[in-house]
Amino acid sequence: MKKFCFCAFRLRALLLPLGLLAVVTVALLFGGRAAKTASANLSGAMPLIILDAGHGGEDGGAVAADGTMEKDINLSITQKLDVLLQAQGFRTLLTRTDDTLHYDASASSMREKKVADLHYRLACTQQTPDCVLLSIHQNKFTDPQYDGAQMFYSPNHPQSEALAQCLQDTFVAELQPDNTRKIKQSGTEIFLLYQTKVPAVMAECGFLSNKAERDKLKTDAYQQKVAACIANGLLHYLGHKPIEDITNTENRT
Ligand SMILES: [Zn+2]
């Protein structure tokens, strides 16, 4: 089947000098709520989990036929995942905790704003070498028949592929038994995965272009199951015990 990752922000020629600015910016912004999310949950030797809700603010990501915006579902799943991981004792850091795109006054065009935002997210992964990046997105395709989660992984760390496979396998085992999608290595088209040096996976949780899947993704109950799949995939990757009954997590948001 043809694979098409619609929502990943594709930039062939990125404005890398903005990276330094982003590092400075992220250091300043770490005084905000995202940084507090991490610092409030220090728990020892387990890796810091960077939770990246794709898009935000002016960048809605994929927009469904009914107006559903990817950015909103990304954030909702990410926040549920954050709760689950904190309950398992993980330190977490969210690249955004609200409907925000990170850029400063020097960014005027939409492209510049998106580039600055992606560099901010990348800088979040550069705060410590002992972290794992989970980037949460939704897919969209011209043909509405396609559905199902698919994981994309960074080419830069040998563990990224294993992490992606753990997440993909967990989706199949716990939520989507008919899902035959294969994990895929990111190229330059997915900036964050291509640039980060830490174990990193982008979870395309489902297709907003498929009405049945979209209708599920819009519900808290299904978002919770998706979050639990991602959490359990991570736990499996780290050799930890999974959350045994994901249906019991539906009221934990
Ligand atoms: Zn996206």
Percent of the chain with pLDDT over 70: 79
Q: Give the domains, in start order, of the chain with CATH numbers.
A: 18-249 (3.40.630.40)
Distance 6 CA to ligand 1 centre (A): 7
9-13, 47-51, 165-169: range with lowest mean pLDDT: 9-13
Alpha carbon distances (Å) from 100 to 30, 56, 57, 94, 121: 15, 5, 4, 12, 12
Q: pLDDT band at 246, cuts 50/70/90?
A: low
Distance 45 CA to ligand 1 centre (A): 31
- Residue 28, pLDDT above cutoff 60: no
**SS3 track for the chain:** CCCCCCCCCCCCCCCCCHHHHHHHHHHHHCCCHHHHHHHCCCCCCCCEEEEEECCECCECCCECCCCCEHHHHHHHHHHHHHHHHHHCCCCEEECCCCCCCCCCCCCCCHHHHHHHHHHHHHHHCCCCCCEEEEEEEEECCCCCCCCCCEEEECCCCCCHHHHHHHHHHHHHHHCCCCCCCCCEECCCCCHHHHHCCCCEEEEEEEECCCHHHHHHHCCHHHHHHHHHHHHHHHHHHHCCCCCCCHHHHCCCC
Q: What is the mean pLDDT of the chain?
A: 85
Distance 186 CA to ligand 1 centre (A): 14
Q: What gap in Å lies between CA 153 and CA 104, rounded to an integer? A: 29
Q: Provide the pLDDT for residue 129.
A: 83
Go through 76-88 and write b for each residue having 16 or more CB atoms within 10 A of its CB, e for each that does not.
Answer: bbbbbbbbbbbeb
pTM here is: 0.84
Task: Give me the mean pLDDT over the 195-207 stretch.
Answer: 98
**End-to-end Cα, the chain, rounded Å:** 35
Distance 70 CA to ligand 1 centre (A): 7
Residue 157 near residue 199 (C-beta atoms within 8 A): yes
Q: What gap in Å lies between CA 149 and CA 139, rounded to an integer? A: 8
Distance 27 CA to ligand 1 centre (A): 25
Distance 58 CA to ligand 1 centre (A): 13
Tokens representing residue 204 in the block: 């395309």
Torsion sign over Cα 80, 86, 90, 94 = positive
Distance 243 CA to ligand 1 centre (A): 27
Q: Provide the pLDDT for residue 244.
A: 79
